[in-house]
Structure 1
């Protein structure tokens, strides 16, 4: 949580509390911030906090001058009217946005009268997921000013005893170690973080603006009963199933690696690093295959090979030679992987298909619905497909549906320095299958969450919830049937309903059931059609409204006091750009007569982007997060597209621009060199060099490119020690529908500052 321009000495966060209670893996976290306006005039005060992406906001309220203003959760369509009205008035709307790998940001503001106080309170809920043998509770705290009363309290209470506990993160550095106290007793843990005002300014990463970091609590529980852990409360049950005394199943894994032109540079390098480590972790009873693809699909070896030392060494040598080139034929590549696995059936093994790509299908079959149908038909439910989407250019919705339809999941790999570790981390989660075809059943129950799972992996956990429909039930019975390495196995458990229901640690099971049901119905809805799709969506919506969860189907409407604007909080989807839900739009004053134009100016963590055109009389101004990749221009009819990546750290333009034309043509420009590929020939130039046999006109500080019906001149600017690119569109096709930021614009480059009151945050 931080204040923006209102963070002066006279706007004081005098109390900041985070209280998180974890009851049997289900966490309810409450953030309470109390702020005082010490001035003799009213001031706008901002509340901004980061919460885990996996969480649902379930409550928000503001209290001031003796009155409480609660956020109301409504169906998204019903809230859209308030949202649209707020945007049209130039007011902020969409108070939740994605901010990276694990967090979402909630922010709002309110005008506080002179010498008055306001209390903000936000509650969010989440089920902690077991990964690699641990649960993780992530708490982010960044009041961005020292706070006299700063407290983080965490209480964890489980059924079985706690077997492992670790407290780490940026808020648990050496300077702050004395501020953290941990108490552990049997099945309970208490963690308190009470930093003094002085400690809040002297820790690593802290300054006069106070704390900014995470407190990460990881733990696990004893697993004495192979049948799992059963809990019952208020007519609902939860079953945690994670047997440990099971032999690992040999796996057949095929890696499908995108080597298209957009994987150039660090993406390809990190993919190679990750694959070398992953190959090193395969064992001799595993079999594996490697497929690389662009517009052409190549199989390293036609057969799945044993993970012997010799085979793995040859595979590593192959991986080291993978180079980017060409377009992206996802359909043919995945079908080839399915074919490889099906051609080598092996009793007592588990098969896994892993696709790594960073782009849309641009070669072969490019209709994503037909690709999804082809893959689903080919796999036939026999094994899971996991889709790893590299970066933000990838069509994540497409990958997610394809994975979910085939008993897998999609995960985004972020373009950071540790992308290779992200790839390895995902692989480790599925590296050790213990059971396949897992089916769970119970007596006297209904409204069950998912009960069939294709694989159970070491270090994970299967969670099933449901409603006890037989009121006369005295003994609750659970049965799990699965296939292990050698044979079918059965786990059975029988417990007294009366004994379980009387235990104190079983609160929140009903909310856990609702949370998990909504999550799973939303996933299921992606893969369904027609009436089944609508039914899944309706069930998720009804539960979201009943339990007041802010989900992709609902919004929270916050009406402010003193006739201020209405705000609407939406939950962003993984496929959306970070910062993608906050809009502030007003009209720009007319610019001087430059003709049509565009410019960038730097502003903190954003680059300001101004666009004007002949058919847009009033220019538009965008604040775009640094490192964002933008779709600049595309003509689907001629298969032309142009994308740009902004410079970091105060840059005024692009660090790299890529043009794709038809299947194989790729032109990539950065501030040091220009690369061109037609799928077979690869040419590299430096600025000022004269090319041969390539349709480019290259000078010292500009390159003139014509592809199809589009002509673009790229200017190499040098200003105040900064070097950056700028595209100037000189020719566009007539009578076609173009897309992208530069669509329909004849661009000239000039630099102006947008009025501070006007911006659109993408």
Structure 2
């Protein structure tokens, strides 16, 4: 026996991490049988999963075992049976288990993982050493509260070992005080093949007044016709509900209180729908939201009212509506016109939704905010803690905020915002269509019956410090409030007082359904009220600690949660379950390794204020308080480099017609080139007069008065998936913003959110600035009136080197065939700025601001470029180029500006006074530059600079910088001539 046991060396870690299953090496063990036994007593479910896994190999092997459980469940027991001997787990503090785990990793022990699949499921995965032809049996127990959703209690258990199992048994025993009036088996393992999969049987009943038995059995026939099963077993049921103060269950010193009245009249609602229409919503999300919103709005009562707010970079009030048929039709039409575009300014959006709710004056109605978003703030205020603080301060009236979050990312911000306001958040999950999930989410809050529900207990019988309450105060039809607590020593009765405001006025509900008994066993294991209280309070304490902003308070809450989890045997983020083997072998069961999680996630300050942040894998450092990089005038470049607080500035003079490469990224395919033209009056002065962008499949050529967009391929076909010609409700047809809002306050809000940032608040970026300077600085201007000379002949031509968009290389007959294709016409536009803007080509959006600023954005926060047109005193027109934000440029990016995505510069000497050639004193500094050679190697060079100020045309302010003379020699990689091109579109 000892020899067999020693052959089975097992080390398990249950861990809530997004870790690929491919990282666990091993063969898949054969699960010969799986049994699930669930006992649901007054909504509290205790589920035991028994899994037998056999090593069919002729030698000892590492096998992979996996199963799944609901995300809200807490593991309370793990027993392993090996060679007839049982090994039972004990609860330990997480830090002690972590030390054991780290030692095991160093020794190469085997490990297991629990990963979160989506908002509904957590998965147990293990890699185990098992002796030849031996069987390991797992007995895992987990516990959870079965919640009432949309009028039904839903219980699910999962059969997800990664393959089909030949034999499965599921037994569900439900015991309730009130009559079970309905039950349905919504989903069964293998139901998708049930008609072709013999061996499956399902039995329900008999159903007595408050008791129900359900049995599912599958056993593959011995003739080999069976296919095994895997999947989900889901049952829904409901009980009789009364319009009273609910039901109380007391066992010993613990009690639970269930409040779920029905039959009350619905209260009028005023709902502010906040719809995210940023570009990240384009992959079917916005389509699903539009479909769901049409159904949601058509289902509103006539007395209900609603407002629609759409947000991307800005926030727009689409309109206010009643529940009348014509008003709803109007609202649906406007929702269907929305398009995904721009960034996501979540902070401004939620604040505006709160102001909109505050402005509604009907005191009888329930005012609520419903947010549909992917949860990522990419514009405006992006720091989660700042956003949360702003929302808490603004929502003084505690309007409940309900959030539906697209995707299964870790969106703690919206969870916390919703919890702060007595609302809740839901994520998308697998198993049903996105539109149906959205509709189901809203249905939960569509029919409020009570507001301001207040449930109190007498301090003479109940220890009020132990009472766990629901996180919301409005009661909606189909829900249930579950409360739990402890009686003070010697108390035998619980007398709740339940008050709430209904449609017809205040209610006080009597509580007459009270069951009390002494526990059959003194052990807490069999006292469902005690375990339900412990389950609820541990969950509540951890949630409050997660939302707390005070470190000491968080530690105190964690200490309380740990003591209760340890006493009741729950595996939490603070505790682990350890199975001890002979020879000091262990199994460690832990749902969340906090240390490992913190090491693998991005901290809040991950995106540091440095150029190295400009990468595909992270948010741009432009999110910080830095001005964007720019180039305009002579041309004057202002760029930021890693290692310096101040930007670097330098001039790059070019002869008439010179073409320069500004950005070239071989990974993203982004190219930006610029061409300069001399002034007729001052030939040595040059300006940028044309800019060329290659952004994926979209090419854009811009001059001060014209703009050409080309998204056609060599064969003349459209290369982008779609072209959006209307940017309503954010922009007019000419790409300028609407003055939105039904009142002056709203219009004022939008003007504030769009005004240029001060220097201290500018985002760091790259750019080109053409600005007249003092006489001792050379300038390069481009002019487009008749005073400009020698405009290049190929002004709007594509050079043959551009294989994707070669105008001259395309067949002329193909152009004629495209004349009837409306989208193809828009895919090759040569127009004025005003005529050509206000469209989205694939993921590239072009809009106009203040008639002089052209904004080109990619996706939701991938890149934001700005082009400014201006003129000098003589009327000469020129362009300025700015990178306001980006997170797409790779480390391989080059060009006059692009190279600064990775270039590092170090300050060598402090500021000193020196006398220049004009006998003027100036502040000089020396910097060390890490430059890249033509052979892609790096070398250091020392460069002297002067503290200077340059003016930004876009922000209309002066930027302090370190000026490097001589066309940036010693600062730029290579020589200045290396950045000259033969054509604008190369």
The verdict on how the C-alpha distance between 1:300 and 1:74 changes in structure 2, with shifts beyond 3 A counting, is: same
1:62-82 residue CA offsets vs partner (Å, 9 max, x unmatched): 121343333343333333223
1:437 aligns with 2:457: no
1:713 CA displacement? 8.4
Contact 1:439/1:451 (CA < 8 Å) preserved in 2? no
The verdict on how the C-alpha distance between 1:396 and 1:146 changes in structure 2, with shifts beyond 3 A counting, is: closer
Aligned to 1:522: 542
1:406 CA displacement? 1.1
1:636 aligns with 2:621: yes
The verdict on how the C-alpha distance between 1:241 and 1:710 changes in structure 2, with shifts beyond 3 A counting, is: closer
Contact 1:17/1:151 (CA < 8 Å) preserved in 2? yes
1:471 aligns with 2:490: yes
Give me the whole-angstrom Cα distance separating, in 1, the residues matched to 2:122 and 2:229.
18
The verdict on how the C-alpha distance between 1:657 and 1:99 changes in structure 2, with shifts beyond 3 A counting, is: farther
1:424 CA displacement? 1.1
1:417 CA displacement? 7.3
Q: How does 1:6-405 map to 2 (within 5 A)?
A: 6-7=27-28, 12-88=30-106, 93=111, 95-143=113-161, 150-171=168-189, 173=191, 174-175=194-195, 179-183=201-205, 184-198=207-221, 207=227, 210-224=228-242, 226-301=244-319, 304-392=320-408, 396-405=411-420
1:735 aligns with 2:756: no
Contact 2:157/2:232 (CA < 8 Å) preserved in 1? yes
Instruction: Report the 3-state secondary structure (helix = DSSP H, G, I; strand = E; otherwise coil) of the residue aligned with 2:444.
Output: helix
Aligned to 1:648: none
Contact 1:712/1:729 (CA < 8 Å) preserved in 2? no
Give me the whole-angstrom Cα distance separating, in 2, the residues matched to 1:355 and 1:424.
13
1:233 CA displacement? 0.5
The verdict on how the C-alpha distance between 1:125 and 1:675 changes in structure 2, with shifts beyond 3 A counting, is: farther
Instruction: Report the 3-state secondary structure (helix = DSSP H, G, I; strand = E; otherwise coil) of the residue aligned with 1:430.
Output: coil
1:285 CA displacement? 0.7
1:49 CA displacement? 0.7
Q: How does 1:527-542 map to 2 (within 5 A)?
A: 527-530=547-550, 531-542=552-563
1:155-197 residue CA offsets vs partner (Å, 9 max, x unmatched): 1111111111111314263436951111122211111112121
Give me the whole-angstrom Cα distance separating, in 1, the residues matched to 2:177 and 2:553.
37
Give me the whole-angstrom Cα distance separating, in 2, the residues matched to 1:668 and 1:526.
45
Q: How does 1:398-417 map to 2 (within 5 A)?
A: 398-414=413-429
| Structure 1, 463-472 or 71-80: larger mean CA deviation | 71-80
Equivalent pairs, count: 639
Equivalent of 2:711, from 680, 685, 706?
A: 685
1:507 CA displacement? 4.0
Instruction: Report the 3-state secondary structure (helix = DSSP H, G, I; strand = E; otherwise coil) of the residue aligned with 2:149.
Output: coil
Name the TM-score, length of structure 2 as normaliser. 0.58
1:533 CA displacement? 3.1
The verdict on how the C-alpha distance between 1:388 and 1:684 changes in structure 2, with shifts beyond 3 A counting, is: farther
Where relative contact order (Cα < 8 A, 6+ residues apart) is larger, the structure is: 1
The verdict on how the C-alpha distance between 1:116 and 1:562 changes in structure 2, with shifts beyond 3 A counting, is: farther
The verdict on how the C-alpha distance between 1:228 and 1:638 changes in structure 2, with shifts beyond 3 A counting, is: closer
The verdict on how the C-alpha distance between 1:559 and 1:246 changes in structure 2, with shifts beyond 3 A counting, is: same
Contact 2:423/2:471 (CA < 8 Å) preserved in 1? no
The verdict on how the C-alpha distance between 1:289 and 1:196 changes in structure 2, with shifts beyond 3 A counting, is: same
Give me the whole-angstrom Cα distance separating, in 2, the residues matched to 1:336 and 1:554.
42
Instruction: Report the 3-state secondary structure (helix = DSSP H, G, I; strand = E; otherwise coil) of the residue aligned with 1:632.
Output: coil
Structure ID, larger Rg: 2
1:148 CA displacement? 6.3
Give me the whole-angstrom Cα distance separating, in 2, the residues matched to 1:172 and 1:467.
44
Name the TM-score, length of structure 1 as normaliser. 0.74
Aligned to 2:476: 457
Q: How does 1:478-493 map to 2 (within 5 A)?
A: 478-493=496-511
Give me the whole-angstrom Cα distance separating, in 2, the residues matched to 1:157 and 1:463.
17
Give me the whole-angstrom Cα distance separating, in 1, the residues matched to 2:419 and 2:189.
36
Give me the whole-angstrom Cα distance separating, in 2, the residues matched to 1:31 and 1:219.
22
1:484 CA displacement? 0.6
The verdict on how the C-alpha distance between 1:168 and 1:572 changes in structure 2, with shifts beyond 3 A counting, is: farther
Equivalent of 2:437, from 422, 431, 434?
A: 422
1:669 CA displacement? 8.1
Contact 2:247/2:512 (CA < 8 Å) preserved in 1? no
The verdict on how the C-alpha distance between 1:117 and 1:299 changes in structure 2, with shifts beyond 3 A counting, is: same
Give me the whole-angstrom Cα distance separating, in 2, the residues matched to 1:557 and 1:200.
42
Contact 2:303/2:323 (CA < 8 Å) preserved in 1? yes
Contact 2:81/2:137 (CA < 8 Å) preserved in 1? yes
1:540-597 residue CA offsets vs partner (Å, 9 max, x unmatched): 2221222222223333345666776765532489xx99xx99xxxxxxxxxxxxxxxx
Contact 1:24/1:506 (CA < 8 Å) preserved in 2? no
1:687 CA displacement? 5.6
Q: Which runs of 5 or more structure 2 residues have no equivalent in the other structure?
A: 1-20, 602-611, 629-666, 673-692, 721-794, 807-843, 845-857, 866-882, 907-931, 934-986
Contact 2:190/2:230 (CA < 8 Å) preserved in 1? no
1:518-558 residue CA offsets vs partner (Å, 9 max, x unmatched): 11222222333334333322222221222222223333345
Give me the whole-angstrom Cα distance separating, in 1, the residues matched to 2:346 and 2:467.
36
Instruction: Report the 3-state secondary structure (helix = DSSP H, G, I; strand = E; otherwise coil) of the residue aligned with 2:443.
Output: helix
| Structure 1, 281-290 or 452-461: larger mean CA deviation | 452-461
1:15-48 residue CA offsets vs partner (Å, 9 max, x unmatched): 3211111111111111112234455422333331
The verdict on how the C-alpha distance between 1:453 and 1:38 changes in structure 2, with shifts beyond 3 A counting, is: closer
1:672-726 residue CA offsets vs partner (Å, 9 max, x unmatched): x559999xx9967356689999999975499999975989789xxxxxxxxxxxx
The verdict on how the C-alpha distance between 1:695 and 1:638 changes in structure 2, with shifts beyond 3 A counting, is: farther
The verdict on how the C-alpha distance between 1:571 and 1:674 changes in structure 2, with shifts beyond 3 A counting, is: farther
Give me the whole-angstrom Cα distance separating, in 2, the residues matched to 1:675 and 1:191.
63
| Structure 1, 20-29 or 327-336: larger mean CA deviation | 327-336
The verdict on how the C-alpha distance between 1:118 and 1:499 changes in structure 2, with shifts beyond 3 A counting, is: closer
Contact 1:30/1:123 (CA < 8 Å) preserved in 2? yes
The verdict on how the C-alpha distance between 1:729 and 1:211 changes in structure 2, with shifts beyond 3 A counting, is: farther
Contact 1:328/1:360 (CA < 8 Å) preserved in 2? yes
1:53 CA displacement? 0.7
Give me the whole-angstrom Cα distance separating, in 2, the residues matched to 1:235 and 1:72.
25
Aligned to 2:528: 508
The verdict on how the C-alpha distance between 1:381 and 1:489 changes in structure 2, with shifts beyond 3 A counting, is: same
The verdict on how the C-alpha distance between 1:698 and 1:405 changes in structure 2, with shifts beyond 3 A counting, is: farther
Aligned to 1:624: none
Larger strand fraction of residues: 1
Give me the whole-angstrom Cα distance separating, in 2, the residues matched to 1:146 and 1:363.
46
Contact 2:66/2:124 (CA < 8 Å) preserved in 1? yes
Contact 2:418/2:425 (CA < 8 Å) preserved in 1? yes
Give me the whole-angstrom Cα distance separating, in 2, the residues matched to 1:415 and 1:736.
48
| Structure 1, 156-165 or 102-111: larger mean CA deviation | 102-111
